């Protein structure tokens, strides 16, 4: 049984930066895609950034383009999310997700992903 563990959340002032990391372990094969989602109170979980493991292509929600960067360190089986110029509306619980089988859902669709981490809180406030 695979496992995803997030780290790096916390509180930061508007305009600040945070880096989230997701460590993947326990699977006998590499996921086809990994992503970061977030869920704010009273809102649905939304895709923030994703990486196609098969070709390295990355995808971002419009709200974070130019501010967030997703990257993968295959040697450490980790996926990171560098977040800069953070805004109060970025406040949410951030979840790491992995797709273990090929499917045709969009990389920013929650339906693509079969495995999820427990989440890490990010709070942006002055």
Which residue from 67, 42, 59, 43 is spatially nearest to 112, judged by alpha carbons?
A: 59
pLDDT tens digits along 12-51: 999 999 999 999 988 888 899 999 999 999 999 999 999 9
User: Does the pLDDT of residue 101 top 90, yes or no?
Assistant: no
Q: How far apart are CA 87 and CA 105, in angstroms?
A: 29
Phi, psi at 88, each rounded to 5°: -55, -35
Rg (CA), the chain: 14
Query: How much is the pLDDT for 44?
Result: 96
pLDDT tens digits along 39-97: 999 999 999 999 999 999 999 999 999 999 999 987 778 999 999 999 999 999 999 99
Query: How much is the pLDDT for 93?
Result: 98
Query: How much is the pLDDT for 48?
Result: 98
Query: How much is the pLDDT for 74?
Result: 78
Query: How much is the pLDDT for 106?
Result: 94
């Amino acid at each position: 049984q695979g496992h995803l563990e997030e780290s790096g959340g916390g509180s930061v002032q508007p305009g600040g930066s945070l880096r989230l990391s997701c460590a993947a372990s326990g699977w006998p094969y590499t996921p086809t895609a990994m992503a970061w989602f977030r869920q704010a109170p009273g809102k649905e979980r939304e895709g923030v950034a994703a990486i196609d493991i098969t070709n390295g292509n990355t995808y971002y929600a419009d709200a974070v383009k130019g501010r967030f960067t997703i990257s993968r360190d295959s040697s450490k089986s980790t996926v990171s999310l560098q977040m800069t110029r953070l805004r109060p509306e970025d406040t949410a619980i951030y979840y790491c997700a992995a797709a273990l089988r090929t499917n045709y859902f969009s990389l920013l669709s929650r339906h693509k992903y079969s495995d999820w981490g427990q989440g890490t809180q990010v709070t942006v406030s002055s």
